[in-house]
Chains A and B, each alone.
Chain A
Amino acid sequence: MSRAREQTASASVEAEQGSDGAFRLVLSGRLDAHTTAGAWREALRLLEGAAPGRAVVDASRVDYCDGAGIALLRELRRRQDARGGELVIEGLAEESRSSLERFEDAELDPARYRRTVRHGPVERAGRAAVAVLQDGRQQVEFVGELMVAMGGALARPRRLRWKDVFALIEQVGANALPVVGLVGFLMGLVMAFEAAIILQQFGVEIFVAKFIGLSLIRELGPLVTAIVLAGRSGSSFAAELGTMQVNDEISALRTMGLEPVRVLVVSRVLAAVAMMPPLTVFFDLAGLLGGAFVAFSLGIPLVTYTNQALASVDLSDVLGALVKALVLGLLVAAAGCLRGLQTERSASGVGRATTRAVVSGIILIAVASGVFAVVYYYLGI
């Protein structure tokens, strides 16, 4: 190789007294990014230990010196300068000397170019409050845009890109069946098992069926399915739209005179809204099946279990749960899309958008479930 690089080579440092009594630091060997680390510590230790007024660095035995070696020489010079001493470098190859002299030490101090402004706690709090308000405003604007776009899609359904909608329905709905089914089955199984332990003590294990039927169909079905949707599809929407934002695809849409909400968000929200009720029903059925395993093991006939489970809920419970599922699907998909559209233009921005999509989705699910509980209470559902 041109510079005769041998990775086994190393750098060494020795201190000696010159004939004129000056402190001499003799550098030898190879000074590159890998060998300089050891020499760096040793050279600084020797220099600091001797703390001479005048020091001479003898570089005549240096075989090779790249940016790391030059950095070492700069550091030695900087330390001597800071102490008010003098440093003379002898025997340095001409090309290395020109690298050393190319820039002033002050030019290479990162602090000189630092532009970070430190804010006090009050200003930080103020900035955080403004950010929250701005986010709230964006959310309101987004909801408005989404409503207009959804209205437009309903008024002129032929303008919708149905191919995209069906592909999204497959992605959000059909592809989610295994995970929704598994979670539902295991939840039904575990809940029935836990309930059976207590109910058996009172000899009323038959109520396992009522417990599972009521809790799954009325409350847990829409809630857990929506959480799975937030983790699976909400995050996917955010990552997809976020990447489009980073790649300027969203800008391209805008410059074509197209609204990203109409083109990209409506189809995703429609797919999620359309798929949440069937996914919830699938979750309920899987949960009831899980409960049936436990009931069967307790000696409850399957017919009895089914009758008891179905008797625990009426049509209003089922319809109420499906309406809730519909609304939760809307909220999760909208939150995912909004966070995707808000993505900052970097890879880490996409990661943050995905996290925010899931967090926002779950918060909205919790708040909406609370609101539904109150409303249904007053409606007598």
Chain B
Amino acid sequence: MNRSGEALIRVENLTAAYGDEVVLQDVSLEVYAGEVFAILGGSGCGKSTLLRHMVGLHEPAAGRVLIGGRDICRADDAQRRRILRSIGVTYQSGALFGSMTLLENVRFPLEELTELPHEAVDTIAMTKLRLVGLAEYAESPPAEVSGGMQKRAAIARAMALDPEILCMDEPSSGLDPVTSAELDQLILELARALSVTFVVVSHELASIYTIADRVAMLDKQARTIIATGTPQELREHSEDERVRRFLERNV
């Protein structure tokens, strides 16, 4: 993890709104290359909204999101495509294509976005599935594997193009503690072995303490980040009652 250089992701004074309802106000944060950065907070505080703005799915009402120094919303089409290719995203539901097998799901971005020949696409897709421990389910459709496997397959698909940044929305939600712990290990291994930068949205504290290098905590009432730091720093030294109460829960 290198925090001396330029931030890989920089969110500057972001305000997010759905119609007239402001969900996030004046949010700023920085994510550095190679770190696992977690966004946490209670339900409905805008974690997923922030992530969706970071990957360019929504345009901020005010402020901007810079990926590698480029504003994702104001980039021209070619630049935007280049930025998006450096980001992999997994969603709460897995969002796998139900009509395709797991292998076809991972093959899909490689077939659509590169000129790689068939054998290369197969080898890369199988490597990703093997990496998440799903090679033997390559020919299974998503409906025939468990929720945890679907999430792992979604990670394999998000990694198909070897993105620099992997954004994950609630990767542990709906998983049993053992599967959740396995997923945490997978994230750590990928961060170490492939130097992928992770942005993880979660409210699973056990997960956060295992994987996160730094966290930003959102608050529903404040509609902004109320604390940033390592999970241990925040839990032990934060002077904000809301932060300590949240981080001490269930630990």
Contact = CB atoms under 8 A, between A and B. Distances in A.
A346 interface: yes
B61 interface: no
Interface residues of A, number: 40
A114 B126 CA distance: 12
A53 to B, nearest CB: 23
B13 interface: no
A95 B34 CA distance: 15
Contacts of B33: 1-3
Given A113-B138, A114-B139, A346-B99, A108 B127 contact: yes
B120 A108 contact: no
B139 A113 contact: yes
B57 to A, nearest CB: 19
A347 interface: yes
Given A40-B120, A67-B127, A71-B123, A346 B98 contact: yes
Interface of A: 1-3, 5, 7, 32-34, 36-38, 40-41, 66-68, 70-72, 74-75, 95, 98-99, 102-103, 107-110, 113-116, 344-349
Given A67-B162, A98-B193, A108 B123 contact: yes
Contact of A110 (B68, B98, B122): B122
Q: Give the bracket for the number of chain B residues in contact with chain A.
A: 35 or more
Given A2-B195, A71-B119, A99-B193, 8 more contacts: A33-B160, A67-B124, A67-B160, A72-B120, A108-B126, A108-B127, A116-B139, A346-B99
A37 B138 contact: no
Interface of B: 2, 8, 33-34, 68, 82, 85-86, 97-99, 103, 110, 113-117, 119-120, 122-124, 126-128, 130-131, 135-143, 159-162, 164, 193-195, 197
Contacts of A36: 116, 120
B137 to A, nearest CB: 7
A211 to B, nearest CB: 49
Which DSSP category, helix, strand, loop or mixed, fits chain A's interface?
helix
A237 B89 CA distance: 34
Contacts of B114: 33-34, 37, 68
A344 B194 CA distance: 38
14 contacts: A2-B33, A2-B34, A33-B113, A33-B124, A34-B115, A40-B116, A68-B116, A75-B123, A95-B195, A98-B193, A107-B135, A108-B123, A116-B139, A347-B99
A345 B143 contact: yes
A115 B139 contact: yes
B162 A346 contact: no
Contact of B98 (A33, A68, A71, A349): A349
Contacts of B194: 99
B116 A2 contact: no
Contact of B141 (A2, A5, A99, A346): A346
Contacts of B2: 2
A348 B34 contact: no
Contacts of B136: 113
